[in-house]
Structure 1
Amino acid sequence: MKSPHILAKALMLVLGAACGVTQAAPDDLPAVGNVHAPLTVALPEIPEGGWFTSAELGAIATSGNTTGTSVTGKIDARHETANWSHEFVVSAFFKEDKYKDDEGELQRSKSAERFAASAKASLKLLGEGKRAFILGSHVNDRFGAYTRYSSIAIGHGSRWLDANDRTLDVEIGPGYFAGERATGEDENGVTVRGAAQFRWRVSPSAFFAQTVSVEKGTSNTHSVAETSLSTKINSTMQMKAGFSARNDTSVPAGKKNTDTQTSLTMVYSF
């Protein structure tokens, strides 16, 4: 099977991007992250009752022999209380190609349309470096092997590595998913979810993050690997380059097991 090799390649890929910090000196990056930070992104420390929000946007337009537009965006909001850490993420990816048909008429054709949302709450009362969490997510992917994929998971997380410039967080727990295949068939079942995030402050102005999550069910194993490297422009603006790979072991005929995306985005944090 080629998919594990593709995901392994994703784990080793280093691209470029950035993290913003609120109420920090211009020359400082945020701390590598705290144990209660969600596994999807590396975020700075937030005072109790505070919010941290980042918005990123990237677009590519082509003209000439090939004409088209590709847009990707993401909003990530995190809120801290004395006992809980909450994160809400919304993202989208859209691609449209333009071409002339046999009659010379200009036609438009969408080749990608994906929207995703997730919400996560982490309980901080399990001791230093440990937490309990509940996570819910939903993905609509018009051209994917699964056009709709929703999941919920609960579990336990802990920090396996805690150094000044790098951290490793791991989560595991049971879950449940419900989805619709590209063929229109509904599918659902119990899953076991595992996730990990490695974060590394490469330099005072560069930050690397690698996340992997796997949901294993009776009929399918759904995996996502994301790699990014951040470069800081100023105290609120960053440039982010990333690579992601999404894999399903069971897909309908005519669909590939793995979808990949390479992006270069600007990130604004506040």
Structure 2
Amino acid sequence: MLMKFPIIWALAFAGATGTAIAAPDDFDSASPSSTYFTQAPSTTIPDGSNWYTSAELGAISTSGNTTGTSVTGKIDARHEMNNWSNEYIFSGFFKEDEAVNEDGSRTRTRSAERFQLSAKAAFKLLQDGNRAFVLGSHVNDKFGAYTRYSTLAVGYGTQLLKRDDKTVDVEVGPGYFHGESASGEQESGMTVHGAAQLRWRVSPSAAFSQTVSVERGTSNVHTVAETALSTKINDTMQMKAAFSARSDSKVPEDKKNTDTQTSLTLVYSF
């Protein structure tokens, strides 16, 4: 499926050469990472290369009357340069349940399995906060309404609000999607991509974010939303609580329109 969109990765790495900028300010380092918006620090640009990477992991294991394991994880790599702000994200989630059969034997069953890979390249325009972007993503969701969902979008983004403790960013542009539903039906077509994010530094050690992304096509409206609150443990560690929802307007009869996930993860930045 990824081979259908080789231009996604080529454009995402197009800005990978050049001069990088300094480390993010306190607001950036305190805020939860974002799939759609990565703001460049407002510090002097030195020579050198600056990558900012975070890895988060959360797991729940239960035993006794109910036995099972669920794991969620994410790797977010950002590359900041003079003219480009690039971001590459890989995330995954799976859940296994164990059931006791009538003969006393135990059977483990996978009830959730989702992996997502995305790449975004944003070219910084002359006016502060404005950018042109290209975004590509692929989702493999074994138990979702769409088992495979790939998108490519280009467009324009801007920062509507910039204060010491709050920022609001929006972006919009045309796109293309290709998906395969759980019933085996394949769909593709043009979409309109729109996204918005609020970031709020609640305190010197806590940050809140709300991100919403919508892709409206002729046959389906695909929406992804995440609400997150993170608190600093030290300079490199954060605790993050998040609630996310994925929704499709057109789904097979035996599937629900919306999948939600509540998570508590430990985030390590390096």
* TM-score bracket relative to the smaller structure: 0.7 to 0.9
Distance 1:73 1:220 in 2: 28
Distance 2:34 2:111 in 1: 31
Larger RCO of the pair (alpha carbons < 8 Å, separation 6+): 1
**Pairing 1:77–2:77 present:** yes
CA contact (8 A) 2:137 2:151 kept: yes
When residues 70 and 41 of structure 1 are mapped into structure 2, their CA distance, relative to the original with a 3 A threshold, is farther
Instruction: Provide the TM-score with structure 1 as the length reference.
Output: 0.85
Distance 2:28 2:220 in 1: 38
Distance 1:60 1:43 in 2: 32
Partner residue, 1:17: none
When residues 32 and 174 of structure 1 are mapped into structure 2, their CA distance, relative to the original with a 3 A threshold, is farther
Listed as ranges, the gaps of 5+ residues in structure 2 are 1-21
Partner residue, 1:190: 190
When residues 23 and 119 of structure 1 are mapped into structure 2, their CA distance, relative to the original with a 3 A threshold, is closer
**Pairing 1:167–2:167 present:** yes
Partner residue, 1:117: 117
Summarize deviations over 1:235-263 as a string: whole Å, max 9, x none: 00010000000000000011000000000
Summarize deviations over 1:16-60 as a string: whole Å, max 9, x none: xxxxxx9689xx554778xxx965466773856310000000000
Instruction: Provide the TM-score with structure 2 as the length reference.
Output: 0.85
**Pairing 1:244–2:244 present:** yes
Partner residue, 2:231: 231
Q: Where in structure 2 are the equivalents of 1:1-270 lying within 5 Å?
A: 30=28, 40=36, 45=41, 49-270=49-270
Q: How many positions carry a matched residue from both structures?
A: 244
Q: Secondary structure at the match of 1:102?
A: coil
Summarize deviations over 1:102-151 as a string: whole Å, max 9, x none: 22111011110000000000001242221000000000000000000000
Match of 1:61, as an amino acid? S
Return 120-129 or 76-85, whichever deviates more.
Answer: 120-129
Distance 1:29 1:38 in 2: 13
Pairwise CA RMSD:
2.1
Distance 1:44 1:263 in 2: 27
CA contact (8 A) 2:27 2:165 kept: no
Distance 2:243 2:145 in 1: 19
Distance 1:170 1:39 in 2: 13
Match of 1:255, as an amino acid? K
Match of 2:257, as an amino acid? N
Return 40-49 or 195-204, whichever deviates more.
Answer: 40-49
Distance 1:151 1:23 in 2: 31
Distance 1:41 1:103 in 2: 53
CA contact (8 A) 1:178 1:187 kept: yes
Match of 1:156, as an amino acid? Y
Distance 1:154 1:203 in 2: 35
CA contact (8 A) 1:32 1:164 kept: no
Q: Secondary structure at the match of 2:251?
A: coil
Listed as ranges, the gaps of 5+ residues in structure 1 are 1-21
Paired-residue identity, %: 64
Q: CA deviation at 1:194?
A: 0.4
When residues 129 and 43 of structure 1 are mapped into structure 2, their CA distance, relative to the original with a 3 A threshold, is closer
Match of 1:101, as an amino acid? N
Distance 2:27 2:213 in 1: 26
CA contact (8 A) 2:170 2:195 kept: yes
Summarize deviations over 1:49-89 as a string: whole Å, max 9, x none: 31000000000000110000000000000001211111000
CA contact (8 A) 1:42 1:199 kept: no
